[in-house]
Amino acid sequence: MAKLWAGVTAGETDPLADDFNSSIRFDSRMFRQDIRGSMAHAAMLAARHIITGDERDALTGGLAGILEDLESGALAIDTGCEDIHMFVEQELTARIGETGKKLHTARSRNDQVALDLRLYLREECAEIGGLLDRLTGVLTDVAEQHTESIMPGYTHLQRAQPVSFGHYLMAYAMMLLRDRERLHDALGRMNVSPIGCCALAGTTYDTDRAMEARLLGFADVARNSMDGVSDRDFCLELMGAFSILMMHLSRLSEELILWASWEFRFIELSDAYTTGSSIMPQKRNADMAELVRGKTGRVYGDLMGLLTTLKGLPLAYNKDMQEDKERVFDACDTVKLCLRIMAPMLAGMTVRTDNMLRAAQTGFINATDLADYLVRKGLPFRSAYQLAGRLVARCMEDGQVLESLPLSVYRSYSPLFGEDLYQEIDLKTCMEKRISEGGTSSASVKKQIAWVRAVLEHD
Ligand code: ARG
């Protein structure tokens, strides 16, 4: 079939080249945005008397029909077309005749594709933002049930100080709130209209770019036409935000995998989100969490792939840029899948507070509190630290924990020790006394929960 772009190029292209050149396999998912953009374009052309009102109505009616038929399945996308833009234009002309050929006045596929992609990703951002908030909500709800569930907090994966499971989960809620902000920031810069930049240099027609931008809900127009058609920063920024988000989900997944292991047994994942082994009947594998961790690499790859594609491109549009879509679509699809699976997996897990507490009872995670006790009795911190260290070593020798070491032994190290010591090194006291802003006390964690909920609700 003759190409819509057959101008000076009269010769036939090789079918292999057509196939290589084509993007319809992956850009047809933007058909709604393409049609919406074309409707706005027709409206602007008529408003500036570049086409007549009747022509606008014919174009808009034809486009609406195509949209309806694509939605209902009555019309199938012709994968023989080079891309979605060509398909829609070809179908329109087939339906309404010569007027269809006027749609592409004062427009190029270069600004058209940049427009479609921004429209498409804007919608994805809204959907992903909703899924992200849902996951943050689940974390917050589970945290609320565990503001008093004591577990060991770790540094270097060594037991460090007691924290509540609620506090632990709220750390992830904070990360997700920052991801939400990053998404929002990326959306702000994405919400700029490239349509009207045309091929690269603008157009000789008296167009109204601001009107098209307004019709399509953009906050602004791209201020330089060469930049407008060749800017893909919005894809990179989005994938940058996604990469950080996936890194967070991957860290959380790693925790879930560890916690679900027999070594920790802090949680049990529900049957709905675990798999068995084909050979070992006892197995319950955290495959979903492992896949989230694994798919993180995939999203990083999408970002690196597009960064690499763009790095050597001279202005303005180059066909290399067609490679943007598969990357950014894959990143969106992957992020959505992961957010969708994480929320119910977390909501449905069983939290084994008994095992968490048992782990907290060994490892001397109240040693800092022992030192702080001595500080309150007047000893300088460094000396108190050394003395607490010696007592921990003594416990290790005797097979004791700090709570079970007799007062007489304590007093043989320092006369500052009294009966009140045991209350001070009780794990619950250790946790509840950490009342500093952002600390692990239940009062502080409740404040964190309230703050996160307020952010989720108010903007
Ligand atoms: N399918 C193309 C893409 O995705 C559309 C733009 C084509 N422009 C061009 N001058 N060949 O980038």
Nearest CA to ligand 1 atom 4: 322
Tokens 């849902």 — which residue? 134
Ligand 1 close to Cβ of residue 329 (< 6 A)? no
277 belongs to the catalytic site: yes
- Residue 446: pLDDT band by 50, 70, 90 thresholds? very high
Query: Which regions of 263-390 does DSSP assign to beta strands (E)?
Result: 267-268, 350-351
How much is the pLDDT for 15?
93
**pLDDT tens, 147-184?**
999 999 999 999 999 999 999 999 999 999 999 999 99
The share of the chain scoring above pLDDT 90, in percent, equals: 93
Q: Is 156 a catalytic residue?
A: yes
Separation of 24 CA from ligand 1 center, angstroms?
11
Catalytic residue among 156, 408, 436, 458: 156
- Pick the residue whose CA is nearest to atom 3 on ligand 1: 322
Contacts 24+ apart (CB under 8 A), 270-276: 270/345, 270/348, 270/349, 270/350, 272/344, 272/345, 272/348, 273/341, 273/344, 273/345, 273/348
User: What percent of the chain stands above pLDDT 70?
Assistant: 99
User: Whose CA is closest to 36, among 99, 111, 107, 115?
Assistant: 115
Q: Interior CA angle at 456 toward 450 and 459, to 5°? A: 125
Ligand 1 atom nearest to CA at 27 = 4
Mean pLDDT value of segment 116-135: 98
Ligand 1 atom closest to 82 (CA): 1
Residue 417, exposed/middle/buried by CB under 10 A (0-12, 13-18, 19+)? buried
Report, as an integer, the average pLDDT of 328-339: 98
pLDDT at 339 over 70: yes
- Length, in residues, of the chain: 459
**Interval between CA 106 and ligand 1 midpoint (Å):** 16
- Is the confidence at residue 238, as pLDDT, over 70? yes
Mean pLDDT of 78-89: 97
Phi, psi of 405 (to 5 degrees): -70, 130
Confidence check: pLDDT of 458 > 90: no
* CA 310 – ligand 1 centroid, Å: 15
Protein residue with its CA nearest to atom 10 in ligand 1: 110
Say what the pLDDT of residue 450 is: 98
> Is residue 216 scored above 90 in pLDDT?
yes
- Contact criterion met (CB below 8 Å) for 164 and 440: yes
**pLDDT tens figures, 407-439:** 999 999 999 999 999 999 999 999 999 999 999
Ligand 1 contacts CB of residue 322 (under 6 A): yes
State residue 400 phi and psi, 5-degree precision.
-115, 170
With 80 as the cut, is the pLDDT of residue 2 above it?
Answer: no
Q: Distance from the CA of 194 to the center of ligand 1, in angstroms? A: 14
Give the pairing of strands 192-193 and 350-351.
unpaired
Asked whether 366 lines ligand 1 (CB < 6 A), one says: no
Report H helices in 102-201.
109-145, 165-190
Among the ranges given (25-34, 70-79, 280-289, 448-457), the one the predictor scored with the smallest mean pLDDT: 280-289
Substitution site in 3, 22, 23 for ligand 1 pocket (most atoms within 8 Å of beta carbon): 23
- For the Cβ of 113 lying below 6 angstroms from any atom of ligand 1, the answer is yes
- Positive or negative torsion for Cα 26, 32, 36, 42: positive
Q: Within 13 Å, how many C-alpha atoms sit on residue 409's CB side?
A: 15
Residue 47 sits at the vertex; the CA angle it makes with 46 and 51, to the nearest 5 degrees, is 20
Distance of CA 439 to the CA centre of its chain: 26
User: Strand pairing of 350-351 and 267-268?
Assistant: antiparallel
Residue 321 Cβ < 6 Å to ligand 1: yes
- Between the CA of 113 and the centroid of ligand 1 the distance, in Å, is 7
Task: Read off the pLDDT of residues 28-72 as tens digits, 9 standing for 90 and up.
Answer: 999 999 999 999 999 999 999 999 999 999 999 999 999 999 999
By most ligand atoms within 8 Å of CB, the mutation choice from 24, 82, 109 for ligand 1 is 109
Asked if residue 351 has pLDDT above 70, the reply is: yes
Q: Does pLDDT of 1 surpass 70?
A: no
Per-residue pLDDT of 6-20, as tens digits, reads 777 667 889 999 999
348: amino acid identity, one letter: G
Give residue 277's pLDDT band: very low, low, confident or very high (50, 70, 90).
confident
